[in-house]
Amino acid sequence: MNHKKIVFVVAHEGYQHEEYGIPKKLLEEVGFQVMTASNKPGTAIGKDESTTTVDMVIKDINIDDCGGIFFIGGPGAMEHLDNQVSYDIIKKVNTAGKPLGAICISTRILANAGVLTGKEATGWNGDGKLGDIFKEHGVKYINKEVVVDDTLITATGPSAAQEFGEKIISLLQDQRSWG
């Protein structure tokens, strides 16, 4: 198992570039390899028109070959990532006890997959619907920038990208020390 390989999942169109780029840079600076997965192969396009190479499609992620998986937000996240393919990977990662997280609107994907039930979490709430969505899925909504509950990390959006990255590193380093 490669605890140093981490997967960031982005929408093929409309990922949030700061939520992707800031944590990715932090992880790479301390020696982690960040692979990018998406719903389509090729090049993913951020909401700011920036691009990133897609290393793999979501259905081809091998959870035995990575230390954790994190879903990035942005306007394309719910359209392109909120589906059964994502739910299946999320459930496998959660069952394996590996670090799993999401930032911004993508925290709703984790809730829809059922892995936040009984957990504390946060996320983007610009439309005022997050509390109801979390309540429907049995998630305790915490109004903070970043929330860590066991191996799950959730964050609110671009303003939390730095702390999201730092918490990912901390959790991954803790996992490596005992796993």
- How far apart CA 76 and CA 85 sit, in angstroms, is 16
Q: What sign has the CA pseudo-torsion 115, 118, 121, 123? A: positive
Residues 6 or more apart whose CB falls under 8 angstroms from that of 124 comprise: 73, 104, 105, 107, 130, 156, 157
Q: What is the dihedral of CA 90, 93, 95, 96, to 10 degrees?
A: 180
Q: Return the pLDDT at 3.
A: 62
- How far apart CA 85 and CA 122 sit, in angstroms, is 23
Number of domains in the chain: 1
Model confidence at 179, in pLDDT bands (50, 70, 90)?
very low
Tell me what the mean pLDDT of segment 155-173 comes to. 97
Half-sphere exposure (CA, 13 Å, Cβ side) for 116? 31
Q: Return the pLDDT at 176.
A: 60
Tell me what the mean pLDDT of segment 148-175 comes to. 96
Q: What CATH number does the domain containing 33 carry?
A: 3.40.50.880
Neighbours of 128 (CB within 10 A): 7
Per-residue pLDDT tens digits for 65-114: 999 999 999 999 999 999 999 999 999 999 999 999 999 999 999 999 99
- How far apart CA 155 and CA 73 sit, in angstroms, is 10
DSSP conformational letter for 74: S
Residue type, 142: I
The larger pLDDT score, comparing residue 91 to residue 175, is at 91
- Tokens representing residue 49 in the block: 């028109």
- Tokens representing residue 147 in the block: 């929330």
Range of the domain at 98: 5-178
Beta bridge mates, 7 = 35, 69
Per-residue pLDDT tens digits for 1-45: 456 899 999 999 999 999 999 999 999 999 999 999 999 999 999
Model confidence at 153, in pLDDT bands (50, 70, 90)?
very high
Q: Return the pLDDT at 19.
A: 98
DSSP conformational letter for 32: P
Contact in structure between 153 and 171 (CB atoms under 8 Å):
yes
Model confidence at 175, in pLDDT bands (50, 70, 90)?
confident
Please determine, for residue 178, whether its predicted confidence score (pLDDT) is greater than 70. no
Neighbours of 97 (CB within 10 A): 11
Residue type, 31: G
